[in-house]
Structure 1
């Protein structure tokens, strides 16, 4: 059985407005959505398990909605985009360690958002990353 570790998992959320605005006062726009990047720590036995647990937590986290000052419904959801990593230092489990929000064009898809924020996986990527590895620190001679 694998050893329990604490992983950090970055998840992406998208906030959208819907419905007709009762006002188009200063600040109103229907051209943007808001994105939240969030990193939480998860105790798990593998990267896959950490990702699955974080994605379940993400679904719960983004399960609220409300009305904005323009009378529109505001709701957010987990985009399904995530990436897990093992922190270099010890960190406690079940905490939020980072959160950031910003606007994106409404026309951008969740997949494009994920590619832009989390990167695109390349064929043979692990070997390609050797180009950027510090040989001395990694024990290569």
Structure 2
């Protein structure tokens, strides 16, 4: 439940759930076991009110993976907003990592946004390339 709750909070940190972020909401909902928990997460998402988080005391071996996964949510819509940065800093503390870790993860997320934009431009450019097939 911890990761699902953190994911929903990260999604609504900027008060908007972009279409490109909907798959993360679906992932968060699929992580919880009960309909009651799913309904609570959906209510949080609808109200756009970040719910309080506990420290992550279990699943420590996955904490780093969780952190980068949450950073991917920050980068999903192609923008890194101040509210998302602030929330990721809070999550860093809830994961038990030093503040410097958040800066490193945010740098990675920012780089990912740039790389995704570059990839999109390259893919768009390939649409206009006439086929030049190699002989086999």
Q: Classify the TM-score, shorter chain.
A: under 0.3
TM-score of the aligned structures, taking structure 2 as reference length: 0.26
- Greater relative contact order structure (CA < 8 Å, 6+ sep): 1
Task: Answer 1 or 2: which has greater strand percent.
Answer: 1
> TM-score, length-normalised on structure 1?
0.25
Q: More helix by proportion, 1 or 2?
A: 2
Higher Cα Rg, which structure: 1
